[in-house]
Amino acid sequence: MSLLVVGSIALDCVETPSARRDDVLGGSAVYFSYAASYFTPVKLVGVVGEDWPAEHTRLLEGRKIDASGLQVVPGAKTFRWRGKYLPNMNDRETLEVHLNVFGDFNPQLSEDCRGSKFLFLANGSPKLQMQVLDQVASPTLAVADTMDLWIHTQRDELLQLLKRIDGLVLNDSEAKLLTGDENLVRAGHKVREMGPRFVVIKKGEHGAMFFSARETHVMPAYPTPDVVDPTGAGDSFAGGMMGYLASQGNFEPKTLKEALAYGVVVASFNVEDFSLDRMRQIDRPELDARLKEYRGMLSF
Amino acid sequence: MSLLVVGSIALDCVETPSARRDDVLGGSAVYFSYAASYFTPVKLVGVVGEDWPAEHTRLLEGRKIDASGLQVVPGAKTFRWRGKYLPNMNDRETLEVHLNVFGDFNPQLSEDCRGSKFLFLANGSPKLQMQVLDQVASPTLAVADTMDLWIHTQRDELLQLLKRIDGLVLNDSEAKLLTGDENLVRAGHKVREMGPRFVVIKKGEHGAMFFSARETHVMPAYPTPDVVDPTGAGDSFAGGMMGYLASQGNFEPKTLKEALAYGVVVASFNVEDFSLDRMRQIDRPELDARLKEYRGMLSF
């Protein structure tokens, strides 16, 4: 089924202990859509400025991502993020954020996008996310991501959003912040009780946890020795998960679990190079081969 | 097959954000032997002072742990540790350590102990661990734990020990410290290249990783919402693992994986109360039930 993602599109500057890249393709909706494209057709809605290299659009279209909802605003600049990873490659400092054109993002969905059945509300304020949700007629599955910034500044709007979505994806520190509970198992269920049918807590190099009314799952990260740049790991995880769900057309427990595993596996490729560089090299059979290996690791 | 553990026996004072317990039964060899006792007969060798409550010995013997190698030294005091957990319940500060009688521990194994086939060298200096290893005639499987203290102060002795043991269990920060590598997958394999056939890296609330020449595995922690006191989690993990291996009499890949899973499950019970209090309430069928649930979580 059709999958729509709305979120940030960025030019990133990334520093790691051993390397640095400037002005590389990034942003939540970019990582998400690229990861999801291995599983299902994706529509990407976002906004960029006139500094946006056309080759980036071509790269996305090369994976059959429908980028017709990518709005280019003349005279404006693309969202920029600059960050630096600590030696553990799991924690990072944000050095600079310039929202630029993303600060005034006011997405007007096409008829086609309004009919999407699988919807992912990637990084953006809860206000923005609700504005998108209002436009999608009758989604089968609507899942959102959120950030510490919105928990601090738009808590009420976030709580409203939570009552309207099926799933929330957030990281471990955000789940603790939102619930005030330091135990992730309790925190996960507390977030779920705020509205969504399921909650996924991302733990970076430690994998992810899944919570629904009946189920609690834990999935370790795939143990790659080649962590080059973790940027976009959470978004590519969500992309793999949602892409697989959309490809199956349901979110039954069995499908959700396979989807989580695909999310883990796509994210493990994503971190093996800067930007989309590693994902650009792989195809679906490579994902399937690593999934098989991962499944073997977890069976006993 | 017979399982021998040699290591620290302690009276602990533990503070968590919500509670505090003084002078409770603890120590690496205590947690290890209690956890292992669900699977196989265990012999415990250690030393305590005259402040040691006899009821603690009876508690261990109640699980058929052979405590005849527990030496009580008149006029001496038992090893004491005082620690405080941070709100995340994963990190802790050591507030006080008094080695007391453990500082002069010079174990002389009985004939019976010398014939042990499965051996675990729990917390103790590499010198002490080698002294024990020298006395065990022909172990089928010898596994050791280590600590940051020994990596700093007895690195050469530790490197010697690593060439003589089959397996090493250590935590994530210790693996990074020992190898200088911040990536745990690479660090695990680097430790393995120092000698042991396999290495287990414990990650606290994030589970464990396993490395052998042919295999890399990741196991998440069982997601318990009731983390009351993480003290002894790593030792009870090792106890569950080694106890199961000894019960099977081999350490083939399939057995090792099941053993890791049992280690995870026993540790998850251990953290649900102070000291041995939670483990005292469970029996093997409860372990097996949680193992089944854990297996279900990881299969997709």
Query: Which H helix or E strand runs over B4?
Result: strand B3-6
Q: Which residues of B touch A (CB under 8 A)?
A: 17, 87-89, 182-186, 189, 203, 205-207, 209, 216-225, 227, 254, 257-258, 260-261, 295, 297-300
What's the rounded Cα separation, in Å, for the pair A292 and A279?
18
Mean pLDDT of B266-293: 98
Q: According to the model, what pLDDT value does residue A299 have?
A: 95
pLDDT at B229 over 90: yes
In the block, residue with structure tokens 């679990």: A257
Mean pLDDT of A177-197: 97
Angstrom distances, CA of residue A179 to CA of A148, A183, A241, B216:
12, 10, 24, 35
What's the rounded Cα separation, in Å, for the pair A173 and B299?
27
For residue A59, the number of C-alpha atoms closer than 13 Å in the C-beta half-sphere is: 19
Pairwise CB contact (< 8 Å): B257 & A218: no
In the block, residue with structure tokens 């990596």: B151
- Give alpha helix (H) positions in chain A: 28-36, 54-62, 111-114, 126-135, 148-153, 155-162, 172-179, 184-193, 233-248, 253-270, 284-298
Show the tokens assigned to B157: 């002795």
Residue range B12-69, pLDDT digits in tens = 999 999 999 999 999 999 999 999 999 999 999 999 999 999 999 999 999 999 999 9
pTM of the prediction?
0.95
Mean pLDDT of A197-223: 97
Q: How far is B272 from chain A (nearest CA, A)?
A: 12
Q: According to the model, what pLDDT value does residue A102 have?
A: 97
At A100, is the secondary structure helix, strand, or coil? Answer: helix
**Which amino acid, residue B154?**
Q
- Name which of A183, A189, A220 is nearest B220 (Cβ-Cβ): A220
Residue range A112-130, pLDDT digits in tens = 999 999 999 998 999 999 9
DSSP state of A278: T
In the block, residue with structure tokens 């990190």: B91
Q: According to the model, what pLDDT value does residue A2 have?
A: 86
Pairwise CB contact (< 8 Å): A183 & B297: no
Q: According to the model, what pLDDT value does residue A179 have?
A: 98
At B107, is the secondary structure helix, strand, or coil? Answer: coil
pLDDT at A171 over 90: yes
Q: How many CB atoms are located within 10 Å of the residue B293 CB? A: 12
- State the angle between helix axes of B28-36 and B253-270 in degrees (0 to 180), rounded to the nearest 10: 120
Mean pLDDT of A266-290: 98
Pairwise CB contact (< 8 Å): A89 & B299: no
What's the rounded Cα separation, in Å, for the pair A199 and A175?
10
Q: ipTM for the complex?
A: 0.93
Show the tokens assigned to A193: 């009780």
For residue A136, the number of C-alpha atoms closer than 13 Å in the C-beta half-sphere is: 27
Taking alpha carbons only, the member of A40, A49, A55, A51 closest to residue A276 is A55
For residue B63, the number of C-alpha atoms closer than 13 Å in the C-beta half-sphere is: 28
CB A135 within 8 A of CB A109: yes
What's the rounded Cα separation, in Å, for the pair B146 and B171?
8
Q: How many CB atoms are located within 10 Å of the residue B292 CB? A: 11
How far does Cα B143 stand from its chain's mean position?
10
Number of H helices, E strands in chain A: 11, 13
Taking alpha carbons only, the member of A78, A80, A112 closest to residue A95 is A80
- Name which of B185, B223, B254 is nearest A223 (Cβ-Cβ): B185
pLDDT at A164 over 90: yes
Q: What is the 3-state secondary structure (H, E, C) of B219-282?
A: ECCCCCCCCCCCCCHHHHHHHHHHHHHHHHCCCCHHHHHHHHHHHHHHHHHHCCCCCCCCHHHC
pLDDT at A1 over 90: no
Question: In the structure, what pLDDT confidence band is assigned to residue B90 with cuts at 50, 70 and 90?
Answer: confident
- The answer for residues whose C-beta is within 8 angstroms of residue A14's C-beta and 6 or more apart is A20, A21, A24, A26, A82, A83, A84, A85, A229, A231, A274
Taking alpha carbons only, the member of B107, B123, B102, B71 closest to residue B231 is B123
Q: How many CB atoms are located within 10 Å of the residue B116 CB? A: 26
Q: Phi then psi for B173, rounded to 5 degrees? A: -70, -30
Question: In the structure, what pLDDT confidence band is assigned to residue B131 with cuts at 50, 70 and 90?
Answer: very high
CB B118 within 8 A of CB B238: no
Residue range B105-115, pLDDT digits in tens = 999 999 999 99
Between strands B20-26 and B42-49, the pairing is unpaired
Average pLDDT of chain B is 97
CB B45 within 8 A of CB B257: no
Residue range B146-199, pLDDT digits in tens = 999 999 999 999 999 999 999 999 999 999 999 999 999 999 999 999 999 999
CB A230 within 8 A of CB A214: no
- Name which of A87, A185, A207 is nearest B225 (Cβ-Cβ): A185
CB B143 within 8 A of CB B168: yes
DSSP state of B136: S
- Name which of A17, A224, A258 is nearest B185 (Cβ-Cβ): A224
Q: How far is A165 from chain B (nearest CA, A)?
A: 24
Average pLDDT of chain A is 97
pLDDT at A90 over 90: no
Q: How many CB atoms are located within 10 Å of the residue A194 CB? A: 15
Residue range A5-19, pLDDT digits in tens = 999 999 999 999 999
Between strands B42-49 and B3-6, the pairing is parallel
Pairwise CB contact (< 8 Å): B207 & A225: no
